[in-house]
C-alpha cells in the first residue's frame, strides 16, 4: 500500500480518512499515516484515531502522497491557496474514491480529487484537479467540472453542465442541463439554477437569482 497523508483534520478530512479505511477494506490501497494541519491546538494530537503529524508545510519535505481535504463556502479559495503554497507535482496528489461511489468507466478524474459515498457519475463526466464531490452528488452525462470545484451533499448537475474553476454548489442544489456556472461562484443550499451564472457571484433561491458578489480572492489565491 502507498503511504498517504490527509491535509486538513477537520470534518472533510475525517470523512476522507473514513473513505480511505473503507476502500482499504475492499481493496488495500493506501497506508493512511495521519493528517497535516496548521492548527497549533492539534499539534501532536490524535483525530479520529489518526495522529496529526505536523503542519501543512511538512508535505513539501516528505515523499508521501497527500490529498487536500478542506472545503468551505466561506473560503472558496482554500484548496487553491494551499496547492499554490505547496507547489507539489500533480503526481504527489492522491485521488480518493469511496467504493460506494458509482462512476461510469468513462468518468475522468483529475489529480487530488475526492469522491465520497453514494456519488454518481453517469456517462462521459470530466472532473478537474482537487475537486470535492460529497455524498450522494449526481453528475449526469457530459458534465464538466473545473479545478477546485466543491459539490456539497446531494447536489445534482443535469446533463452537459459546466462548472468552472472554484465553483461551490451547496447541499441539494440543482443545476439545469446545459447551463454554465462561472468561476469562483457560489450556489446556495437547495437552489434551483435555470440560467447561466456569471463568475464571482452568489446565487440562491428557487429559481436561483443573484444575491451578491462572492468573496474576492485574497492576495496570492489566484496564483499558480
Is 207 found in the same domain as 106? yes
161-186 mean pLDDT: 98
196, part of any domain: yes
Per the structure, the count of domains in the chain is: 2
The answer on 177 and 159 residing in a single domain is: yes
Task: Look at the alpha carbons of 161, 173, 201, 79 in this order and tell me if their dihedral is positive or negative.
Answer: negative
Domain with 207 in it:
101-212
Q: What is the pLDDT of residues 2-47, one digit of tens each?
A: 999 999 999 999 999 999 999 999 999 999 999 999 999 999 999 9
The tally of CA atoms less than 13 A away on the side-chain side of residue 111 is 9
In a domain, 206, yes or no: yes
Do 43 and 134 sit in the same domain of this protein? no
200 and 107, same structural domain? Answer: yes
User: Tens of pLDDT along 90-136?
Assistant: 999 999 999 999 999 999 999 999 999 999 999 999 999 999 999 99
Q: Which pTM was predicted?
A: 0.94
> Could you tell me if residue 203 is inside a domain?
yes
- The residue among 139, 135, 2, 12 whose CA lies nearest residue 68 is 12
How many residues can be counted in the chain? 224
Please give the Cα distance from 205 to 30 (Å, whole number). 41
Indicate the residue among 46, 66, 92 that finishes a domain: 92
Region 81-95: what's the mean pLDDT?
97
Q: Are residues 113 and 63 in the same domain?
A: no
Residue 220: pLDDT above 50? no
Last-in-domain residue among 66, 92, 118: 92
Domain boundary among 73, 92, 111: 92
Amino acid at each position: 500500500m502507498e503511504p498517504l497523508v490527509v491535509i486538513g483534520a477537520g470534518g472533510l478530512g475525517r470523512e476522507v480518512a473514513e473513505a480511505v479505511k473503507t476502500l482499504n477494506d475492499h481493496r488495500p490501497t493506501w497506508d493512511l499515516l495521519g493528517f497535516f494541519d496548521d492548527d497549533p491546538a492539534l499539534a501532536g494530537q490524535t483525530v479520529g484515531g489518526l495522529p496529526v503529524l505536523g503542519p501543512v508545510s511538512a508535505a513539501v519535505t516528505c515523499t508521501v502522497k497527500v490529498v487536500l481535504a478542506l472545503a468551505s463556502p466561506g473560503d472558496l479559495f482554500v484548496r487553491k491557496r494551499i496547492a499554490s503554497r505547496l507547489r507539489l507535482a500533480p503526481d504527489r496528489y492522491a485521488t480518493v474514491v469511496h467504493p460506494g461511489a458509482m462512476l461510469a468507466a468513462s468518468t475522468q478524474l483529475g489529480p487530488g480529487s475526492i469522491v465520497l459515498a453514494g456519488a454518481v457519475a453517469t456517462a462521459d463526466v470530466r472532473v478537474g484537479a482537487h475537486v470535492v464531490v460529497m455524498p450522494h452528488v449526481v453528475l449526469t452525462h457530459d458534465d464538466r467540472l473545473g479545478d477546485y470545484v466543491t459539490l456539497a451533499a446531494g447536489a445534482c448537475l443535469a446533463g452537459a453542465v459546466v462548472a468552472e474553476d472554484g465553483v461551490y454548489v451547496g447541499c441539494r442544489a440543482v443545476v439545469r442541463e446545459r447551463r454554465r456556472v462561472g468561476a469562483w461562484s457560489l450556489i446556495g443550499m437547495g437552489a434551483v439554477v435555470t440560467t447561466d451564472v456569471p463568475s464571482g457571484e452568489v446565487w440562491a433561491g428557487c429559481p436561483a437569482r443573484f444575491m451578491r458578489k462572492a468573496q474576492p480572492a485574497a492576495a496570492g489565491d489566484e496564483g499558480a
